[in-house]
Structure 1
Amino acid sequence: MTYEIDRTWIDFYKELAERLLKYKNNREELIENVKKIYVTTNIRMPKLEKNHQLVDIDPFTVFGLFNKSAMKDSNKIKILETVAEIFNINSEVPTNFESVPTINTMNATYYYFLGDREENDIDNLWSLFENALAYAKNKKYQQKFMKYFDMSIEQKGNGRNKVTNGLYWIAPEVYSSLDWRTSQYVYETEKISDKYINHNEKIPNKISAKQYLKIVKQLKEYLSSSDTVMNSFVDLYYEAWKYSQEIKDKNREIETSDADKDVEVVNYWTISLDSQETKWREFLENSIIALGFNELGDFSTYEDKKQIKEKLQETNDTDRSYNNIANAILQFTHEMKAGDIVYATFEQSKVLGWGKITSEQVYEPNGEFKNIRQIDWKEQGEWTTPIKLKNKKLYKITPYKDTIEALNDIFTTSSEEDLGKEQIKYPKYSSEDFLNEVFISEQHYNRLIQLLEMKKNVILQGPPGVGKTFAAKRLAYSIMGVKDKNRVKMIQFHQSYSYEDFIMGFRPTETGFKLHTGAFYNFCKQAEQDMDHDYFFIIDEINRGNLSKIFGELFMLIENDKRGSELELLYADEKFTVPDNVYIIGLMNTADRSLAILDYALRRRFAFFDISAGFSTEGFKEYQEKLQSPKFDSLIQRVEDLNNDIRNDEMLGEDFIIGHSYFSNLTQVTDTILSNIVEFEIIPLLKEYWFDEPSKVDIWADTLRSAIR
């Protein structure tokens, strides 16, 4: 088997290695060529020496120029195109780097700067480079290779990751990378049998040449065996890279649903610097931002704020809440994204610069900052702000247009980079798009629009799996005409949700109590500044909250004929109003037996719209026809029969039928996919419905399974 991997980089990197070898005794010319790369590409040259006065360089660091973890592929390609021209490389310039390991952006030189490195450090690296290429061709150079391997890896700033990555770049048929991705895949996943690898072995960072060559030999034996379809170290690294991506995706909290996954929104952030001089200089020189908290390891491995807070409390032996810090870490890891605008601030009155995020969160185990995002700093200096800024580590200011405008006014930017310009191009979304994706009839859709316009407040109610959340967001987008996620806010009520969470209230701080505004208050203030556009506030599980307690005095203001009326708030000497352009959509699961009868005040102020299973709608029929799957068709027929049984059950009824969303959004149909829906979604639901009739559950389970046999 041959892996479908783009291996263009191999020939290019190997040819470049041979070209670089000629500069071993002519490093002055190599330095001039390196400088020429950045002049030609118009990319800012990284810091390669103290005060940027480059006096010497090794060949591995030259490779590191375009193999940095946070570097965009477009910049890698731009540099490599220039490298090809300067060094007369004939091989095709690579454009794909999935099987190429990278090194920490913050630690991209293989030597320490003048004054901190030993006299022969760079010479040793050249000797390792030369003998590694020689050993790749002739095993008689093994002893020399081992000698300089051990010398180079013991140098300050070097370790297993960097040195083995460098060797892999120049001869991937001989040397394996042993960076964190490969080590994780080889030693932690048990994908490689114990007969090849000792999974209990702890590989040191300062690994010896003898240990390294032993592991390389073990991996070669595995790759040449019948136990794998992989054939080379490139295949192995590609698998390790894929595995690391899967783990990262698995651990990533996704804040959006399918309803708005294709909506791109530019968010605005402030990042507060603890040290105005040191951290800001490092951020600028390395084109990054970071929060610190290296003791947490990889931010992406934490699932929620609770885990982060517990780890910080344990590590620092304190009962401090760490609530704001935990929230900042989750936002930095999961919510911030490429294209977002960041303002670097100091104290509460100074702005040091602004830039655009260019990468996802990157974890660098050996970096000074272990969790970073790459950023393109646009302006730097020192400005005094006309407003008082939040003194938070990371703060999302997207909802506060006055704050953004005040910050933008202090910069003098070109028209191309004008921060005041509209930054977002929203996808258009029409009623036709809604009907193609949400399986209700056009008649019901038009009636729903009329209800929302008339009452301003609507509750979508129905059994589980009918796509209420999806429908709510798509409904908002269809009315707006675009998928503007900034004008849609979704929260979830629960038994502990309070007025203080929804409107405002006092919360404890380290020095006392402070008045905080809630989700609905902030949303109304945002909508009030943009009365030309509609805003939609969606409340999931609306019947789970204590509505009178949560809405308080605002229950009256949400009525259609009371919009624009003012009322003094409980905790503030402030007149508050619910703007006319705010629509409230509540979601309610009618199958929830545990809920009390809804408050009459809620029923009077909301229109109720039933959403049922859409198996018989034209939209679902078209979707079903496109899948072209007899087994899918058979399963849907069985589910419709099951729903008839549920409807006729005295203890259940229409509110408990199985919805269509369990079967939606499939691009292909396999036995495994259908089986997973049946076994892990529908059958557990039936066990809840007929907990006292296990034989009935068994009958329907067999019926559903038979449809896909």
Structure 2
Amino acid sequence: MENYSFTWVQFYSEFADKLLLYQNNRQALIQILKDEYDKLNLHNHFIQKDGPLNDIGPFTVFGCFNRGLTDENRIALMKSIGLKIGVETDAPSDLKGVPILNNMRTLFYSLKSENIEESIDNLWQLFETAINFADEPSETNRVNFKNFFDIVRKQSGIRWNITMGLYWIRPYSYLNLDKTNRDYLIDTKNIFGKQIAGISDLKLPNSEEYLEIIDKCKYLFEKEDSVVKSFPELSYNAWIKKDPREGSSTIDPTPQTEVRYWLYSPGRQAKKWNEFYQNGIMGIRRGEIGDLRQYSSKTSMKNKMKEFYGEEFSYRNAAHATWQFTNEMKPGDIIYAKQGQSKVIGRGVVQSEYIFDNSRDEYKNIRKVNWTHKGEWPHPGKAVTKMLTDITPYTAYCKKLKALFFDDAEEELQNEVELTYPEYTEDDFLEDVFMDSERYHTLVALVKSKKNIILQGAPGVGKTFVSKRLACSIMGTWDPNRVMMVQFHQSYSYEDFIMGYRPTENGFELNHGPFYEFCKQAQEDDENDYFFIIDEINRGNLSKIFGELMMLIENDKRGEKLRIIYSDELFSVPPNVHIIGLMNTADRSLAMIDYALRRRFAFFNIEPAFDSEGFQTMVTSSNNSRFSKLIEQVKLLNEFIAQDESLGEGFKVGHSFFCLEGNVSNDILSSIIEYEIVPLLEEYWFDEKDKIEQWKKTLYGSIK
């Protein structure tokens, strides 16, 4: 790696030592933060709606200068606060590779938690035991550290951020496991990816697992062929590899965990099939352009292919396939191997991330695969000619391919990779959604008692965002297999939703719709909740779409059987299926939901949340005072809309138009006004130009 001096390490370590002295004097610490923020004329994000915070955790203090600010402000803050608490080391001038927090998640605890005082006390205990264990790695200190790590790990507001906090306070002792570092550690191109296992995007490790990873890394640092010799070097390398142009890594979003299905040709006319099957791998060509992970985009792949193979072709399909093979395919995905357009010759489960094996003569880009089947089966229809195709969206097609190998779903499940999914709790919901605890509990109670609920609200209040997180919070996990979403429209029918006949090459065949399949899936897993989300529920002809199921979806009719019109089958809607409909109250082209369906649903209003604690925190974290002024004008606009006789409450402007993280520029705010808010107003007041001009002037004026 390049010669780089980690000047920040000594400052951060001494800052932690001095900060520990305030463990039992936190009010003084809060006052110091207030004074230094005021002195630097920076927004103090330790202010709640009802006043300043009355307690603070140690990692949150570090978060003051390890968040989405300019480096200039970060350095000014750490220098100013450091001087106040007695840090003698000079503040660093270069913060390359130091991980930072998402501005919305800087506290390391939830303000909505009922046991916030206990949570903060636990964070201080972990902070103290982590310093002790790093400075004196005795067995006693190790046990104490593990104890508090496992306690804090389960607290609301704690995810991968706690490993970031530990890394800040003792950079040579603890490993930061943010997304950037996790990707680096599982990259088989370096020594760590080849020898470290157990790192997953899905689950924060417990203390034993975390320390095992740390010990393994320290062991690998001693290897002669290791390009890094410490955790700061590791993090810096990962940071550079992520994007040499950018200067920070942040908390990653919710991981994607859905199994995907791929149709794959093992060489032209499957010439590599026997070799791949015997060696338990799959491979693609283009090894001449090197390790595919070095390319940051499909365009860069295409440009390299043109340079190497010639300019006469576009390489669009080739780059798309190599990009998907390298970056989108995941362990657990299902592979169907084909030969030509008429034969399926095998099935397998992906077992590894992408590997570049330069020792191979050809097909150097590989993944390990557990090939579960080998033989010859007729392909249903004609297969695409491409070497690799993501067929996941084509659910009927995937079912036909599955049917070639399995007569019953239980046999198939024995061959699948068992996936675990991230926990998602009430606290996570309250952190993500601008809703208070009381309304959340009301909403959950409605879902559980009524089984069917419609979330209704004005444009931009986040109905879709709320619905998915509501489902996952009730389930307790972010499991995409137990949540399905469809969108209704004027042409949507019973045949699309439940079942109906569809044309084929040889006539017609009966196909099952998504709701039918979802109910069958839920029926086999009756101990778990399932959620079926219908966007734009009032855009469809509901009586036509639901048909005889109108009765079966009632909460007191769940489990009762009724013969459905297209099949000699008794069908029921299981009690563990919950239906969440989404409805835009500003859609005046639609008739009201008919009474037959209305009485089967509870209706819950999602209001604009401009005054909520979470939204206000986001605005004040933007470092742009004009953002706050714009929001005040939007709130006045909503009052004006609510009083307009031709509109009303259901036409207010929602807060999601303005959900912005990090530093927010005036250009961004201007773009939202011009391309999102003004077009909405033009639709509302299409024949009242004076009102549009009045509010355009007002909104633009607030950011000038």
| C-alpha distance after superposition, 1:350-398 (max 9, x if no partner) | 64544336359x9xxxxx99xx98532234773799x999997665489
Specify the alignment match of 1:533 in structure 2.
528
TM value normalised by structure 2: 0.54
Shift of 1:702: 1.5
**Alpha-carbon distance in structure 2 between the residues aligned to 1:552 and 1:378:** 44
Residue from 166, 183, 189 that aligns with 1:76: 189
| C-alpha distance after superposition, 1:638-672 (max 9, x if no partner) | 10111111111111111111111111242222112
2:431 is aligned with 1:436: yes
Shift of 1:291: 13
Specify the alignment match of 1:264 in structure 2.
256
CA contact (8 A) 1:266 1:423 kept: no
Shift of 1:619: 2.9
**Alpha-carbon distance in structure 2 between the residues aligned to 1:494 and 1:640:** 32
CA contact (8 A) 2:331 2:350 kept: no
| C-alpha distance after superposition, 1:72-112 (max 9, x if no partner) | 98332249999xxxxx9998899869999xxxxxxxxxxxx
Specify the alignment match of 1:670 in structure 2.
665
| C-alpha distance after superposition, 1:49-74 (max 9, x if no partner) | xxxxxxxxxxxxxxxxxxxxxx9983
Which residues of 2 match residues 386-405 of structure 1 at below 5 A?
396=392, 405=410
**Alpha-carbon distance in structure 1 between the residues aligned to 2:323 and 2:533:** 21
Residue from 458, 462, 476 that aligns with 1:463: 458
| Residues 354 and 666 of structure 1, relative CA distance in 2, 3 Å threshold | closer
| C-alpha distance after superposition, 1:394-424 (max 9, x if no partner) | 6548998985642464x7xxxxxxx46x322
**Alpha-carbon distance in structure 2 between the residues aligned to 1:566 and 1:291:** 53
2:701 is aligned with 1:699: no
Shift of 1:344: 3.5
The residue type paired with residue 406 of structure 1 is E
The residue type paired with residue 489 of structure 1 is M
| Residues 467 and 514 of structure 1, relative CA distance in 2, 3 Å threshold | same
**Alpha-carbon distance in structure 1 between the residues aligned to 2:322 and 2:506:** 25
SS in 2 for 1:423: coil
The residue type paired with residue 378 of structure 1 is N
Shift of 1:277: 4.8
Which residues of 2 match residues 216-235 of structure 1 at below 5 A?
none
Shift of 1:445: 1.6
Residue from 600, 608, 612 that aligns with 1:613: 608
Compute the RMSD of aligned alpha carbons: 4.8
SS in 2 for 1:501: helix
2:631 is aligned with 1:636: yes
CA contact (8 A) 2:503 2:509 kept: yes
| C-alpha distance after superposition, 1:275-331 (max 9, x if no partner) | 885252476689546799xxxxxx989xxxxxxxxxxxxxxxxxxxxxxx9xx9999
User: Which sections of structure 1, spanning at least 5 residues, go unmatched?
Assistant: 1-5, 9-70, 83-87, 101-234, 243-259, 293-298, 302-324, 363-367, 412-418
SS in 2 for 1:556: helix
| Residues 512 and 335 of structure 1, relative CA distance in 2, 3 Å threshold | farther
Specify the alignment match of 1:423 in structure 2.
419
Specify the alignment match of 1:194 in structure 2.
none
Shift of 1:497: 1.1
Residue from 408, 411, 420 that aligns with 1:406: 411
Specify the alignment match of 2:509 in structure 1.
514
The residue type paired with residue 344 of structure 1 is Y
**Alpha-carbon distance in structure 1 between the residues aligned to 2:471 and 2:556:** 21
Specify the alignment match of 2:474 in structure 1.
479
Shift of 1:546: 0.8
| Residues 530 and 291 of structure 1, relative CA distance in 2, 3 Å threshold | farther
Residue from 329, 353, 359 that aligns with 1:358: 353
Specify the alignment match of 2:549 in structure 1.
554
2:347 is aligned with 1:342: no
| Residues 286 and 478 of structure 1, relative CA distance in 2, 3 Å threshold | closer
**Alpha-carbon distance in structure 2 between the residues aligned to 1:330 and 1:561:** 52
CA contact (8 A) 1:72 1:358 kept: no
Specify the alignment match of 1:659 in structure 2.
654
Higher relative contact order (CA 8 A, sep 6+): 2
| Residues 478 and 556 of structure 1, relative CA distance in 2, 3 Å threshold | same
- Corresponding residue pairs, total: 441
**Alpha-carbon distance in structure 1 between the residues aligned to 2:546 and 2:322:** 29
Shift of 1:627: 3.4
**Alpha-carbon distance in structure 1 between the residues aligned to 2:348 and 2:442:** 50
CA contact (8 A) 2:488 2:535 kept: yes
The residue type paired with residue 476 of structure 2 is G
Shift of 1:583: 0.2
**Alpha-carbon distance in structure 1 between the residues aligned to 2:649 and 2:597:** 23
SS in 2 for 1:587: strand
CA contact (8 A) 1:542 1:588 kept: yes
2:581 is aligned with 1:586: yes
Specify the alignment match of 1:125 in structure 2.
none
SS in 2 for 1:76: coil
CA contact (8 A) 1:568 1:574 kept: yes
2:271 is aligned with 1:278: yes
Higher mean Cα deviation, 262-271 or 673-682?
262-271
| C-alpha distance after superposition, 1:515-564 (max 9, x if no partner) | 11111111111111111110000000000011111111111111101110
The residue type paired with residue 423 of structure 1 is L
**Alpha-carbon distance in structure 1 between the residues aligned to 2:685 and 2:188:** 60
CA contact (8 A) 2:284 2:322 kept: no
Shift of 1:263: 3.7
2:621 is aligned with 1:626: yes
**Alpha-carbon distance in structure 2 between the residues aligned to 1:92 and 1:428:** 33
The residue type paired with residue 74 of structure 1 is D
TM value normalised by structure 1: 0.53
**Alpha-carbon distance in structure 2 between the residues aligned to 1:291 and 1:528:** 44
The residue type paired with residue 577 of structure 1 is S
Specify the alignment match of 1:378 in structure 2.
370
Specify the alignment match of 2:563 in structure 1.
568
The residue type paired with residue 646 of structure 2 is M
CA contact (8 A) 1:662 1:677 kept: yes
User: Which sections of structure 2, spanning at least 5 residues, go unmatched?
Assistant: 4-183, 196-223, 247-251, 287-296, 300-316, 357-361, 385-389
Identity %: 44
The residue type paired with residue 75 of structure 1 is T
| Residues 487 and 390 of structure 1, relative CA distance in 2, 3 Å threshold | farther
Specify the alignment match of 1:196 in structure 2.
none
| C-alpha distance after superposition, 1:486-525 (max 9, x if no partner) | 1111110011111111111111112211211111111111
| Residues 540 and 380 of structure 1, relative CA distance in 2, 3 Å threshold | closer
| Residues 336 and 76 of structure 1, relative CA distance in 2, 3 Å threshold | closer
| Residues 266 and 359 of structure 1, relative CA distance in 2, 3 Å threshold | farther
**Alpha-carbon distance in structure 2 between the residues aligned to 1:81 and 1:556:** 57
CA contact (8 A) 2:424 2:473 kept: yes
| Residues 463 and 89 of structure 1, relative CA distance in 2, 3 Å threshold | closer
**Alpha-carbon distance in structure 2 between the residues aligned to 1:493 and 1:511:** 30
Q: Which has the larger radius of gyration?
A: 1
**Alpha-carbon distance in structure 2 between the residues aligned to 1:700 and 1:263:** 40
Shift of 1:590: 0.6
**Alpha-carbon distance in structure 1 between the residues aligned to 2:351 and 2:381:** 20
CA contact (8 A) 2:621 2:662 kept: no
| C-alpha distance after superposition, 1:203-258 (max 9, x if no partner) | xxxxxxxxxxxxxxxxxxxxxxxxxxxxxxxx9xx89xx9xxxxxxxxxxxxxxxx
Residue from 682, 690, 697 that aligns with 2:685: 690
